[in-house]
Structures are given as structure tokens and as C-alpha cells.
Amino acid sequence: MSNGFYAKDNYTVYALVLVFLAALALGLKEVDIGTARQEAGWINFALGGTLLAAFVIAKLVCRIGLPMLSGYLFAGILAGPFVSGFLSMESVERFKLIDELALSIIALAAGAELHLGAMKTRARAIISNIVLITVLVFAAVSLFVAASGSLFNVTADFSSSQLAAFAILIGVISVARSPSSTIAVINECRAAGPFTETVLSVTMVTDILIIIMFTIALSMSRHLVFAGSGMQWHAIGALGAEIAVSMAVGVALGKAVSLYIRHIRHDFLIFLIFMAFAVSRASMGFNEFMEEYARVSLHLEPLLICMSAGFFIRNFTPEYSDFLDGLGRVAMPVYVLFFSLAGAALNFHSLLLCWPLALALVLVRAAGLFGGSWVAGKISKIPPSHHYFAWMTYLTQAGVAIGLARLAMREFPEIGIHLNTVVLAVIAVNQVIGPVLFKAALHGVGEVGQSRH
Amino acid sequence: MKVFFAFFLVMVAAFGGYHLSFRRITGRGKVAWVHLTGLEFLVLGLLLGPGFFNILNESTLRSLEPFSALALGWIGLLAGFQFEAVQIRRFPPAFFAAGLVESGVTTLVSFCCLYPVLPLFVQMPGAMHLVTTLALSAAAGCTAQSVLGLMFLSYAGTGMSALRLLRYIGSLDGLLPMALLVLIFFTRPGPLSINPLDILVLLAAALAVIFMVYMFFLTRRRDTDELALVVIGMTVLTSGAASLIGFSPLLANFFIGICLVNLTREKEKIFQLLVSIEKPVYLVLLIFLGAGWHLPGFSMAVPAVVYWLVRMLGKITGGLAAAGSLPALRGYPRLLGLGLMEQGGLAVAILFDFQQRFAAPEVSYVVGFALTAIVLAQLASPYCVHLLLKRSD
């Protein structure tokens, strides 16, 4: 195109955008904030600026081969409370609404990526990966913490039972992955193929499995920390019911979406956003109601509901193509918002406090992932390149791990506070390096750009 | 939880309501005119507000500020897009002058009538009295075009050229009211610690930088997803910067809109994007405004009727002045003002912006009766346009 109207990205222009945005932010930061309207103005300015900076940084990091997701995260980290402070922790908390909305949409996309036919043909690889990675990561991390607890200042003062509980809980949390990051990197790379499908299936199934494992771990830790407290097997039964009900609700929701596409069709995008939002909030409302009024511990899992809905539409309805189109159109703004806010919320303060233990855990976890996926690859006889690269796709960690650490903190305040700090620090490292290695792995197995969607 | 629930309700009502009320409006006869008033959304806002269910209360509205900033900025940007020099030049210069004369006279008449009358209904300190009268006059100067647009689709009489002129005037007569809004934000009684000169300098610098950033983004053709992200991000950023400086998000985006429509190649794509959710965004503003609305009892009805009558007088005088003073308008009906009675869109955005900036119970009361008057104007406007067209036939 002539007159400076480019058909391709001009990276100098993106760099200039960043410079101008930074100059504007620095200039406006000098303004005294005296009224509520000005305060709201600053939050809006910071949100808009972060969104645009995330988009621009993503374009720039793409140039050097990194995934766009890393760009969104870096922008969030730069704008967040631990670097420039343009987005305060309170502001990040205020945008939780966007966060939950985005997470529901990502879960829908995650479910829709699971193709039953493909899963059946790779059942051996998927099951062996799930079992071996789960066992090896849990064992490696738990044993490492139990054996070296006295060497780190965070765990040095724990009693032996506290250290055992800490090791079990952190072992389980280490198994957790980030389905949202997985989906985002796969979508961005338009990756498809046996390797991608296996990774996706393993990540999604593990996401369900981790909830069950964590409930068992909580029960065991309770037994260790509060001597005399017996194992609460009924909790595991209740959990089974929760998962079954959540999946059933997801299937009903999937059917509703398919009917909407078939009979109404217009404003599907809006419908999708509202539906994601409604699921998220309705589940929370239902959970609170069941706890407070019915005194029944039956919780609905919004992520599981959305994943089941996406899975149902993808595999059991003819409307999946329209559904995937609709998801594709909201994907970009959702990813930019979700991951830039996630970047802003990454806790580097925790990393500073316990970086030796955090870095050691990152390495041990990575070793567990490598060992598990390598052995699983050997057993299921997949191409050698696949089992060399697989571990790199399982590194990312985010929301699920944070949620579990918070639950543990509520249950065991004494060890939980340290657990939460260590988990946040590990996540900060994994979330920065995870997407980069994930993209490299997809390139390594040659599945980038193979998707038709 | 309340914030999430409120957000959910507002969005479902705005988008669902847009589909039910606006998309199926043709062929509904007179019921359509009631839908065009947006009355049901004001009432919904009222029901959600502190007077009834208390879902949209002050703190909830504060938490939903990014959305209201986006909505206000969106309307401002769209209003700016009406002023594309190439489009304006397609019509005779007299048409443009007619728009300026009509809105100028309407605003002046409204100001002269409302300034002495306002203290009869609400007591305010001197500067606030002046600023409120200016805001009401600015809102009075604006014309909405839904009724004219619908008439344009169905009308086939000899008054078609008059209808075309009215639509043209209606699309441009927001210019002077927006200029008046600038004056309001620089008069600005209130707690803001920045002096007006600093605001001017900061604002000019900020808008220049924001416009440059826009231009950088638009140096290449973008697909719809990227463009939507850029426009949403820039609108929230511009609105935020304006509020932070103590200026109007509506106006800041309005200026950016004028620059964009005249200086970028992506204007058509951006315009389509803005128009695609214009109505739901407008409904969001109505719901937010409705939350601060009072039931139109006697204390509200009298000033509302007075405001409505004053604006009517202003529009008729403005129309007469335009038709009488511009020779190129000789063949057109002299009572042009009858066709410009509809008041919504930009006027609602001006009132919302004003209420946000000068939050006080007196301001809520004034905005409340002005909204009631807008509903009256919306209801009366189809009959006024019919009357005008009948005279043209």
C-alpha cells in the first residue's frame, strides 16, 4: 500500500505507540487525584492503556518468536502493582468481573477443542500421560519438599507433621496446569494434530482430576495436622456428585446453546458472553445458597460446566462450526484482557520472599513433567519428538493452582500462608516461561498453523 | 456479587431490549413511537435504582464506571463521526448554516427562558445555577433522528426534500451544544484542584497524544477483531484521561471522532463498528440514568413540562430563524422546528455526562425532569413531523 498504509505490521510504529502511551501515562500520573470521578478516570485510563499496551507488546514479542500470550502477560506485569503501579492491586481486584467472564469463555473453548473421535484413537497416550505425569510430579515435588524442608527459611520451622501436610498439598498443586494458557497458545499458533490433541486432552482431564486429588490431599493433611481427625471419605463422595452434577448442567447448557444457534442465531456473540457470565455467577450463587440455607455442600464448578458444554456442542451437535466461529470472534479481546490482568496480578513480592524454594520447585516439577511424559511416550509408542517436547507444554500454571492454594490457606492458616506464598512464586515463574516453551514445543513437533479454524 | 448481578441485568436488558424494541420496530404502528422514547429502559433503571430494588445504587454505579465511561465515549466518538467534511460538503453550505442557526437559536432561547425559571424549582448556588442552565440548554439544542429515519423509510409525499433537510440538520445540530458543553466543563464549580488553564494545556497535550496513538494504530488495515480491540481500548483510555483531568469523556471522544473521520482511511470500518452497538450503548445510558430518576410526580411534572415547552419554543424559533435568514431555504416550510422535536441520543449523553461530573441531589433532580421532558418530546415528535409534512403536501 502507498502513503504509509501498510498491509503488514510495522514494528517501529508499535514501538512508537508504546513510547507515546508511556509518555501519556507519566504525564497524567502527575495529576492530583481529589475526587471519586478522577479516581475512576485513572482506573479507566490504566485499563485502556494496559489493554492497548498488551496488544502492542504481543505484536512485538511475536516478532522474536514468543507467543502473544507472553506479550499480554508482560504488559500486565509492567502495568501491575509490582513494577510501574499503574494498575493497583485494588484495581485488579475490581476487574474480577472481566476475569471470570473471560475464564468461562476460555473453558467453553477448551471443551470445544476436545474431539471425542481423536481422543479415542489416542486413549493410550492420553491415559498414560495423565497417570505418569500426575504420579511423578506429585512424588517428585512432595519428596523434595519433605526431604529438603529444613534447608529453606519458609519451611524450616515446621513440625514434621506440618511439613508432611505441606509436602502433600504442594505436591498436588504442582500437578495443576493452566487450561486457559494451553488454549490461548494453541489458538494463537493455530496448532492442530496428534500432539496438540493429546496435550489438550491431558490438560483438560487433569483439570478435573486435580479437584478430586486436592480433596483427598486436604483430608490427609487434616489427618496429619490435627491429630485424631479421621479421613473424611464422605467428602470424596460429595465431590463425585458435584462433578457429575456440573457435567450434567454443562450438557444441558450445551444443548441450550445449540438450540439458540439453530433457532435464533442473531446476536450469538452477545448470547455467548452473557451465557458465560451467567454460568459463572449462577454457580457461585447456587454454591452460596446451598451452603448458607440448605446446609448442603454441593458445589457447581463453573469451569467444568463450561468445558462440558463446549465438549457437548463440539461432539454431539451439528452446530459446532457456528459455535467455534462465535468463540473465535471473542477470543482476541478475551485473551488480551484476561492475560494482561493475570500478568498484573502475578505476585513478584512472593517470589522475592521465597525465590530459592520457588526456583527449586520449578525445576523439580519440570523434571517430573519430563520424566512422566517421556515414559508415557515410550509406553504409548508415539513419535520420539513428541515425548521429548511434551513436558514443555505442561509447565504453565495459573488460576486453578491459585484457587487451590487459597483453599488450603483457609483450611490450615499456619502452613497455608507459606504455601500460598510459595505457590504464587512458582506460578510467577511458570507463567512467564511456560507459554514461551509451549510455543517452542508446538514448533518442534511441526503442528503450528495446521488448524482449519 | 451485587455489581456482577447489576452488570448482568443491565447488559441483558440493553442488548435483549434493543432486539425487542428497536430491531422489530417497523410495522408496529403507533406502539413503535412509545418504544423509541426508551421509556421502558428508564423505568427499568428506576426499578433497579435505590428507590426500589437498590441494585444500581451509588457504589454499584461507581464499580461499573469502566462500562459507563465506555458507553459515554462510544456515543461521543459516534457524534464526532457525523462531522466528516466530505459528507458535509455534499450538501449546500446553507444546510450547514441552517443547522448552526437552528441549534444556536434553540440553545439561546432555552438559556434565556430557563435561567430565570430554574430557581423556582431547585435552589442552587450561583455558579451551579449557571452551569445547570447551560447543560439543559445544550441538551435542548440536540435533535435525535429515530423518528425522522423511520418516516424517511415510509413517507412518499412532496415533503421528501424537507425531510432530507431535517435529517441533515438533525445530524449536525449537536455541534453548538457540544461547544457549550466545553464551556460548562471549564466553568466547573466543584472540588477539582486543577485550574482551568492547566486543564486546557493537559487536555490539548493528552488529546494530541491520543490522536497520534490512534493514527499509529491505523497505519495499517486491521481486521475487525483488532480494530474492535483498538477502538474499545482507545475509547476507555480517552474517557479515563478526560475524567482524570476533570474534563468530559463525551467531549474528548467527540473531538477524537471528528479528527478520525476526517483523517483516517479506516473511518468506514470504525463507523460500522460504532454503529453496530450504538443502540444498546444508548440503552445502557438510559438504564444508568433511570437509576437516578424519580417517579414523575407533581414536583417533577411541572418543571418537565416547562422544559419541554421551552425547548419546543426554542426549536420553532430556531427553525423560523434558519428558514427566514437563509435565502437557499426559501422553498422549505418555515416551521422547520416542528420536525426537530425529537430529543434523545446525544442529549441523553450530555445529561449523563453532566450528572457524572457534577454529582449532587439537585443535579439528579434536574436531570430527572429533563429526562421526563425528553420522553414527552419523543412522544410528541411523530405528530409534529406529521403536521409539518402535511403542511408541506
Least confident of A98-107, A304-313, B307-316: A98-107
Query: ipTM, 2 decimals?
Result: 0.87
For the residues A44-67, what does the mean pLDDT come to? 88
Number of H helices, E strands in chain A: 18, 0
Least confident of A273-277, B146-150, B231-235, B260-264: A273-277
For the residues B78-106, what does the mean pLDDT come to? 90
For the residues A266-279, what does the mean pLDDT come to? 76
In chain A, residues with a C-beta closer than 8 Å to the C-beta of B1 are: 281, 284-285
- The verdict on B238 touching A (C-beta cutoff 8 Å) is yes
Q: Which amino acid appears at position B69 of this protein? A: A
Window 237-266 of A: residues touching B by CB (8 A cutoff) are 266
Least confident of A96-105, A315-324, A336-345: A96-105
**Which residues share a beta bridge with A6?**
B220
| Res B309: pLDDT | 96
Question: Does A48 sit within 8 Å of B235, measured CB to CB?
Answer: yes
Are A11 and A60 contacting, i.e. CB atoms less than 8 angstroms apart?
Answer: yes
In chain A, residues with a C-beta closer than 8 Å to the C-beta of B185 are: none
**A266: confidence class by pLDDT, cuts 50, 70, 90:** confident
Least confident of A83-92, A368-377, B67-76: A83-92
| Res A332: pLDDT | 80
**B295: confidence class by pLDDT, cuts 50, 70, 90:** low
Best residue in A45, A57, A280 to probe B by mutation, most B CBs within 10 Å?
A45
CB-defined contacts A:B, below 8 A: 166
For the residues A370-385, what does the mean pLDDT come to? 89
Question: Does A24 sit within 8 Å of B191, measured CB to CB?
Answer: no
Question: Does A285 sit within 8 Å of B236, measured CB to CB?
Answer: no
* pTM of the predicted structure, to 2 decimals: 0.82
Question: Does B1 sit within 8 Å of A97, measured CB to CB?
Answer: no
| Res A2: pLDDT | 43
Distance from CA of B305 to the nearest CA of A (A): 32
User: 3-state DSSP helix/strand/coil percent for chain B, to nearest 5?
Assistant: 80, 0, 20
| Res A235: pLDDT | 62
DSSP run (H or E) holding B383: helix B361-392
| Res A1: pLDDT | 41
B190-199 long-range contacts (CB < 8 A, ≥24 apart) are B190/A35, B190/B357, B190/B358, B191/A34, B191/A35, B192/A34, B192/A35, B192/A38, B192/B246, B193/A32, B193/A34, B194/A31, B194/A32, B194/B245, B194/B246, B199/B245, B199/B246, B199/B247
Answer positive or negative: Cα dihedral of B142, B148, B150, B153.
negative
How many C-beta atoms lie closer than 10 Å to residue A448's C-beta?
19
Please name the member of A27, A44, A336 whose beta carbon is closest to the beta carbon of B229.
Answer: A336
Rounded Cα gap, residues B40 and B28, in angstroms: 16
| Res A183: pLDDT | 83
| Res A299: pLDDT | 65
For the residues B260-286, what does the mean pLDDT come to? 88
Best residue in B4, B61, B74, B214 to probe A by mutation, most A CBs within 10 Å?
B4
| Res A133: pLDDT | 93
Question: Does B233 sit within 8 Å of A55, measured CB to CB?
Answer: yes
Distance from CA of B357 to the nearest CA of A (A): 7
Q: Report the chain B residue with the minimal C-alpha distance to residue A279.
A: B8
The yes-or-no verdict on residue A369 having pLDDT over 60 is: yes
